[in-house]
Amino acid sequence: MSLPTFTKVGRLSRDIELAYTPSGMAIAKTSIVFSEKYKEKESTCFIDLVAFGKTAETLNQYMQKGHRIEGVFKLGQETWTAQDGTNRSKHALTLERISEFIESKNQTQMDYQGQQQQDHTPPNQYNPPQDQKIPEINIDEDEIPF
């Protein structure tokens, strides 16, 4: 059975915690919020997010709490035994691939006179500085520790 995979835009709702396994693989943990609005009603969903390998390192390097991101996510379920002996579970997402970085609304840039101005980049487009390359992101299934 294949787990559900989807592409969606969300906003990081926590700072990223980056750690490395003993073998050197990066693991980034955070949470993401998805929201949608229909007429006057808005719905939101907060869910834990994890990324592995180069995707985790790229996420940590370019993103922080409050930034919007479009990605390919895989839905999964984590299970564990609590201290009281009860079985627990929760849904979580794995970030399979970053489709697009989306700049935050409050991001500004300096104009040619050194004065701060609002960024007029379209909200669905990330334009890194010309001298900065964003690495290709590819997760090898063998790198995932579970």
Q: What is the per-residue pLDDT across 69-83, written as a single tens digit (0 to 9) for each?
A: 999 999 988 898 999
100: nearest Cα among 62, 131, 45, 141: 62
Q: Is residue 64 part of a domain?
A: yes
CB 47 within 8 A of CB 32: yes
Q: Is residue 63 part of a domain?
A: yes
The total of structural domains in the chain comes to: 1
Q: Is residue 131 part of a domain?
A: no
Model-wide pTM > 0.85: no
Identify the DSSP state of 142: G
Q: Is residue 70 part of a domain?
A: yes
CATH number for the domain spanning 80: value is 2.40.50.140
Q: Tell which wins on pLDDT, 1 or 69.
A: 69
Q: What is the per-residue pLDDT across 89-124, written as a single tens digit (0 to 9) for each?
A: 998 999 999 887 775 434 434 333 444 444 444 444
Count of Cβ atoms closer than 10 Å to residue 5 Cβ = 13
Q: Is residue 14 part of a domain?
A: yes
95: nearest Cα among 67, 59, 62: 59
Distance of CA 107 to the CA centre of its chain: 18
Q: Is residue 116 part of a domain?
A: no
